[in-house]
Structure formats: structure tokens, C-alpha cells
Structure 1
Amino acid sequence: MPRSAFRRRALSLTPLVDVIFLLLLFFMLTSTFSRYGEIEIAAAAGGGGGPTDRMQFLQLGEDRLRLAGQEVAMGALAGRLAGATLLVSLDGEVRAQRLIDLMAVLRGVPDLSLTVLR
């Protein structure tokens, strides 16, 4: 039996490109773009920002938090800092996420002025 010649057809990429564009369009239209909250901080530079009568000093470490030299829990800070000026000093091993967590807790404190020392 003679073999018939089998010839492959060239693959067209046009339908593949169309499908990719449709998928891209679908995901772009169905995704939601969330807004990230802004947390205002001031860098310590020269003349201060607020009154010094209620100034508190906070040391932020990777696993500890010290307010005026005493260990304190993250949840207990909000009640002790209303209307104060807070200076935050970072230990060398502190990650950025730890600072963001602290600022998220302090966001709800009324009349708090926050300064992060460099």
C-alpha cells in the first residue's frame, strides 16, 4: 500500500491573538482597583510641629514596643495618646510593615501629631 503524503497546515496565530485580547479586556473590565489609605507622617527636621507639654517618646522594635521606657501592648496605645505629640524611634531591625501596623492603630487617635525619627 502506498502511503499518502501527509501535509501539515501552517498554524494561524490570529485566533490565538484574538482570544488573548478578549481575555485581557475581560480581566481589565471585571477587576476592581482599590484605593490605598494614606497615612500622614512628618520627618523630624528642625523646629517641631506641636506643643511639647504632651510629648511622648515611643521606641518601636520588631517584637517590642516601649512608650516612655515602659513595655506596652499595641492595642493599649490608643487610649494613652489622645492629644499628644508622639515621637517614634525605630530600632535597626524594624521592618516597614511593623511601622505601617503601628500607624494603622494610631490613625484613630484624636488630635495626635506623629513624627517618625530618622
Structure 2
Amino acid sequence: MSLTSLIDVIFLLLLFFMLSSTFSQFSEVTLTTAGAGHARSPDTPPIFVQLRANSLRVNAREVTLDALPATLGPLMGDGESRALISTSADVSAQRLTDLLLALRGAAGLSVQVLVPS
């Protein structure tokens, strides 16, 4: 086997792996500390979001991730609102990220994730 054919095989393998790999678009989720949030109106009660592996509840009402923006609209009021997210131990990081991305679209909503004890 000559050196030229070995280089050809390596090039073909490299080309195959480059073309067969998937390219994922990663999204960025900004996290802030609790003290970095904006002041909110004391008239607006917080919105309680319970995230489980197979369910999502907003103020004890079962909703889907797609219906979340429509559910949050009437609860937010006029000014700034705060969402408190409670997760269970079986929630994956991807599920929490999907929820945070859905909540990012709500204007005037500050999000705080509660750590399970």
C-alpha cells in the first residue's frame, strides 16, 4: 500500500464525517442573579410555574409549552411581572431550557428558578 492511497482514504473518511455530521443551532439563555432583577409592582402577584418531566402547570393549571404565551398574557398585568419556576428532580436540562426560551418571549417578565431542596 502506498502513501498516496492512504492519504486518499484519510481524505475520503474526513469528507464523509464532515458531510454526515449534523449541525445544531445552540441558543443562548441569559441567567441573572436574584438581586439583579428589576423592581416590580407590589400589586402584581408572582406567577407560579411548576415544571415536571411530563407536565407543565401555571398557577396550578395544566398547560402545554405551546400555549404558555397565551396563558401568561392575562396573568402579567400592565407592568413588570415575576415568574417563579419550581422544578422536580426528574426534569432534564433541555426541558428547563425549552421553558426558559418560551418565557423569554414575554415582555416585562422576570424569571426566577427555585432550586429543589
Output the TM-score relative to the length of structure 1: 0.64
Give, as a single letter, the amino acid of the residue that structure 1 aligns with 2:4: T
Q: Does the 8 A contact of 1:87 with 1:114 survive in 2? A: yes
Match of 2:50 among 49, 55, 59: 59
Separation in structure 2 between the aligned mates of residue 32 and residue 95 of structure 1, nearest angstrom: 22
1:49 aligns with 2:49: no
- Give the match for residue 40 of structure 1: 30
Q: Tell me the C-alpha RMSD between the 2 structures.
A: 3.1
- Give the match for residue 5 of structure 1: none
1:103 aligns with 2:100: yes
Give identity over the alignment, percent.
45
Secondary structure (helix, strand or coil) at the match of 1:42 reads coil
Distance change in 2, residues 1:41/1:28 (3 Å): same
Separation in structure 2 between the aligned mates of residue 34 and residue 61 of structure 1, nearest angstrom: 25
Separation in structure 2 between the aligned mates of residue 90 and residue 32 of structure 1, nearest angstrom: 31
Q: Return 5+ residue gaps in structure 1 as ranges.
A: 1-10
Q: Does the 8 A contact of 1:43 with 1:117 survive in 2? A: no
Kindly state the Cα deviation for residue 48 of structure 1 after the two structures are TM-superposed: 6.1
Secondary structure (helix, strand or coil) at the match of 2:106 reads coil
Secondary structure (helix, strand or coil) at the match of 1:57 reads strand
* Pair member with larger Rg: 1
Q: Return 5+ residue gaps in structure 2 as ranges.
A: none
Output the TM-score relative to the length of structure 2: 0.65
Kindly state the Cα deviation for residue 61 of structure 1 after the two structures are TM-superposed: 0.9
1:13 aligns with 2:3: yes
Distance change in 2, residues 1:59/1:48 (3 Å): farther
Aligned residues: 105
Q: Does the 8 A contact of 1:52 with 1:85 survive in 2? A: no
- Give the match for residue 109 of structure 2: 112
Secondary structure (helix, strand or coil) at the match of 2:90 reads coil
Deviation string 1:34-73 (CA, Å, 9 cap, x unpaired) is: 65221223354xx4623153322211111222223x1231
The structure with the largest helix share of the pair is 2
Distance change in 2, residues 1:32/1:105 (3 Å): same
